[in-house]
Amino acid sequence: MKIGRIMGVNIYLNPFFLALLGLFFVAGIMDKGLIAFGVVLAHEFAHAAMAKKLGVPVSDVELLPFGGVTRMGGDMPVRPDREMLIAAAGPFGNLILFMAGLAFKNHGVWDDNLGPFFLQSNMIIAAFNILPALPLDGGRVYRAFLAGKVGIKNATYRAAGLGQVWAVMIMLAGSAGLAMGRTGLDVLVTGLFLFYAATRERVSAPFLFMRQMMQKKEELLRSGVLPAEGLVAREDATLGEVVRLFLPQRFYFVAVYSGELEFKGVLSENKIIDALFAYGFDHRIGEINSL
């Protein structure tokens, strides 16, 4: 549900976040619900501010129970360096708000009921989001770190898998807490949504990989220079087997050999990606016409 627009960015409330606010209302603590709303909104706009500083366009912000999603255009998240900075901005923003809250307390500007909740909300959002699990901010930093070693697709699979594991742990803890009367439905709802969001991230991995391949060609045209690396492939290797070794910010040349190790020719990354789009992952590299 769209609720407004700030600094050219549309703001949406996810149904799960609405449900969380409803729980605050039913419990008679809507003032705390509004504080939680403000803390999450500030967290997301920290992401948006960093994105704009790096020249990454921001389309909208969706508020979720554990934080939110800042949707960006351009080359996100296929630029690991930028994704890492933008992801880290959210928890850092909450840390700044926490320190500001302490400063207000030390200067006597304080409410004994809402003040501690404000500090607690910022620390919970920051601590939860630094977990190395997609779609949390820590997961995005973890994926950005892994992407340069194993590629964006495998990095996404690993970080999203951790997200699913953490979600199951949170759901189990929430169910146990609910049964013992120690927690409310909010913990269980957060775990359910985290599992759903992590699964969505996992499904998106192949699409991110294809975006990264297209973006790399654009980056080469824009910058004029990229570091290059070489690979060797037998002619019966599939395009899928070859491109899974491609990493971001590097341009590849592949030397192709026959089964008897007779040199057949060299293919540039552009030729391989064009063939991938034309024929699919199972097409053999030795069948590319440019050889």
What is the rounded distance in angstroms from the CA atom of residue 205 to the CA atom of residue 160?
9
Give burial (CB, 10 Å; 0-12/13-18/19+) of 175.
Answer: middle
* DSSP state letters, 272-291: HHHHHHHH-TTSBGGG-TT-
Report how far apart the first and last C-alpha atoms of the chain are (Å, whole number). Answer: 53
- Residue positions counted in the chain: 291
CB 190 within 8 A of CB 136: no
Tokens of 104: 């207000």
Closest CA to 62 of 87, 92, 37, 32: 37
Q: So which residues are the catalytic ones?
A: 44
